[in-house]
Amino acid sequence: MKRLIAQKVMEALLPSLSKEQCLQKWIKVQAHAQIHPRVKMQLPLRYLFQEKASKEELLQVGSEVTRRIELDDQVIGCDISEKDNGPCLAFYVDSRAFVESTILEFQRHLKMGSCIPHLKREWSEKTVAIDFSSPNIAKPFHMGHLRSTILGAFLGNLFEFLGSRVVRINYLGDWGTQFGILQEGMYREGTKEEDFQGDPLHTLYQLYVHANQLADTDPQFAERGREWFTRMEKGDRDALQLWDVIRTLSVQEFQKIYDRLGIKFDHYDGESLYNKSWVEGILEDLRRAGLLMKDDKGREVVSVSPKGQVVLVKSDGSLVYLTRDVAAAMDRWERFHFHRMFYVIDNSQAQHITSLVEILRQKGVEWVDRCIHVSFGRLRGLSTRKGTAVFLDDILDEAKLKMKHQQALSPTTRDYTEEVADNLGITAVIINDFKQRRTKDYDFSWDRALQSTGESGIALQYAHSRLCSLEENCGVSLPNQWESLSLADLGLNPQATLLAAQLSRVDEVMEESVARLEPCIIVKYLFSLRDAVNKAFKVLQVKGEEEATAMARLALFTSARHILAQLLKILNITPLRKM
């Protein structure tokens, strides 16, 4: 329907606007109100202009369209209405034609595997590198890592869906003086490889905490730690032996959690990859270019705005987090020639990324603007039975346990398995997080996350499984071609029209979500889709209806289920057929 309207606008405007301009713009048509038996679709007039235009210009073009547009039995009216975002063209579409064309268009797109061809054109074959999750070895996997993990997974799915080549990078925090300190701790305690059997992450964490306490109180201990790290930087085999064990075990443990979430990384390229010998060449370049200079404390610094001087080499010659990030960016460019590189890291590192980008800019790399910080706020107050949550699997276990209780108590439970409980727990945590804008801080509440109605993940899964069970039990099945169905009559029903109007919004939703790198756009949309589905359920009986009616209704519900399932998958959630 949008295509048809766009075509008409184009025809009405051809004398004053180029065909390309019009064709580009048709996508922006928005389906809004659901006025039965007419559906109102709005097109902000400014979308018809490449550049900023005055209100008079907008109105002039608008009235030209209203005068010249050819109405028919599908597009039945057109006028100009005033909106917050300026004057809009309002098209009135016959609701029967609207519902029919929406469902058929949807089926066509489904067969092509996409409802957003123009976005696919823009992103397919582009390389999108995503640096996400990136926990620190020997330290807790904290809330920031949880948010980074699910947000990065979402971006990966989103761009993969658009046809991009996605490179998922886990930039493990596996390097730095703290590992020398850990090494000294292990050395003094006589720690051996076998000691990590059982629960390696917790064991490692205890060792880490203990060693750092010692380093804080005992300068000699700290000094020995630094010596260890210097040896590690030089690639000393003995010094690296235990570190190797720790790293391998940690990656194995992290991988278990990622498996549970259905996430696969292409590269576990941690900070350790960028050791001193690796980085030296880059530092040399910076020195030669006069960007890296010695300060009065003997450190080597770069001046970046607005922060001022940032250290890349400490006075004892050791390198820091930022130095390694500069090296990592250069390396990734060499390897992937990315179209975008997303750094999915919390707001607290905004300055770090600004400095990184600034250094790359001064270095003169032409791809600097492709590096984007996808930042997010703090999540507060997530705790489990064991106390304040520090390990991700504790959180997922807690969610699962709570879901199991809830499932056991609910009279509607149909599938009561470990997998379903685990899935629901994960769904709840993800949707609860993606409900708000990513940059916002928020307080976690288990009650809110796990509620089974309203704006929750459980409610979305419930809607999906209800649609699946409708398909299975309604007594009719859909033909391969939907053109023969009597879809238009659905348009006589306000609830069906409302649901179709929601379906027709999916491409705008995707477009906005991609432009803002925001899962909340999709989640909000899913809640309104779910509301429309629930309302339609109340009035559009399928089972026991006359066949033509039943099939048309089923086609509407099936379209809704496909969208729900596809978008849940993009959010890194496996849609449940039964729960």
The three-state secondary structure class of 3 is helix
Can you tell me which of 94, 100, 105, 131 binds ligand ARG, judged by CB under 6 A?
131
In the bound complex, what is the minimum distance in angstroms from residue 171's beta carbon to ligand ARG? 4
Which residues 6+ apart lie within 8 Å of 134 measured at CB? Answer: 145, 148, 170, 171, 172, 173, 345
Cβ-Cβ contacts under 8 Å for 137 (sequence gap 6 or more) = 172, 173, 174, 179, 204, 246, 247, 250, 270
Q: Does 78 bind ligand ARG (CB under 6 A)?
A: no
CB of 249 to ligand ARG, least distance (A): 18
Residues 448-467 that bind ligand ARG (CB under 6 A): none
The DSSP 8-state label assigned to residue 453 in this structure reads: S
Contacts with ligand ARG in 319-338 (CB under 6 A)?
325
Choose the stretch contacting ligand ARG; rule: CB under 6 A; options: 70-78, 103-111, 131-139, 501-509: 131-139
Taking the complex as a whole, the smallest distance from the CB of residue 267 to ligand ARG amounts, in Å, to 12
Nearest residue relative to ligand ARG (C-beta): 173
Asked if 404 and 413 touch (Cβ cutoff 8 Å), the reply is: no
How many residues in the shown chain lie near ligand ARG by CB under 6 A? 8
Active site annotation includes 440? no
Q: Which is nearer to ligand ARG, 115 or 344 (CB)?
A: 344
CB half-sphere exposure, 537, CA atoms < 13 A: 17
Nearest to ligand ARG of 140, 457 (CB atom): 140
Query: Cβ distance 156 to 262 under 8 Å?
Result: no
Examine the residue annotation and report whether 120 is marked as an active-site residue of this protein: no
CB of 432 to ligand ARG, least distance (A): 22
* Residues in 165-224 at the binding interface with ligand ARG, rule: CB under 6 A: 171, 173
Residue type, 519: P
* CA dihedral of residues 489, 495, 499, 504 (deg, nearest 10): 60
Instruction: Give min distance, CB of 343 to ligand ARG, in A.
Output: 6
Q: From the CB of 185, what's the least distance to ligand ARG, in Å?
A: 20
Active-site hit among 2, 145, 400, 402: 145
Any residues with CB less than 8 A from the CB of 160 and at least 6 apart, and which? 166
Give strand pairing partners of 136: 173
> Which one among 134, 177, 323, 513 touches ligand ARG, defined by CB under 6 A?
134
Minimum CB distance to ligand ARG, residue 379 (Å)? 14
Closer Cβ to ligand ARG, 94 or 325, answer by number: 325
Contact in structure between 513 and 158 (CB atoms under 8 Å): yes
- If one asks whether residue 136 binds ligand ARG (CB under 6 A), the answer comes out as yes
Specify the 3-state DSSP secondary structure of 224.
helix
Contact letters for ligand ARG, residues 467-486 (x by CB under 6 A): --------------------
Work out the number of other CB atoms within 10 angstroms of the CB of residue 575.
21
Binding mask 268-307 for ligand ARG (x = CB under 6 A): ----------------------------------------
- Does 345 participate in binding ligand ARG (rule CB under 6 A)? yes
Q: Helices (DSSP H) in 320-456: which residue ranges?
A: 321-336, 350-363, 392-409, 418-434, 446-450
Q: Which residues of 136-149 are buried (b: 16+ CB within 10 A; e: fewer)?
A: bbbbbbbbbbbbbb
Segment contacting ligand ARG (CB under 6 A): 40-48, 94-102, 128-136, 442-450? Answer: 128-136
Q: Is 405 a catalytic residue?
A: no
SS3 513: helix
From the list 139, 276, 402, 435, the catalytic residue is 139
Q: List active site positions.
A: 139, 142, 145
Interface with ligand ARG (CB under 6 A): 131, 134, 136, 171, 173, 325, 343, 345
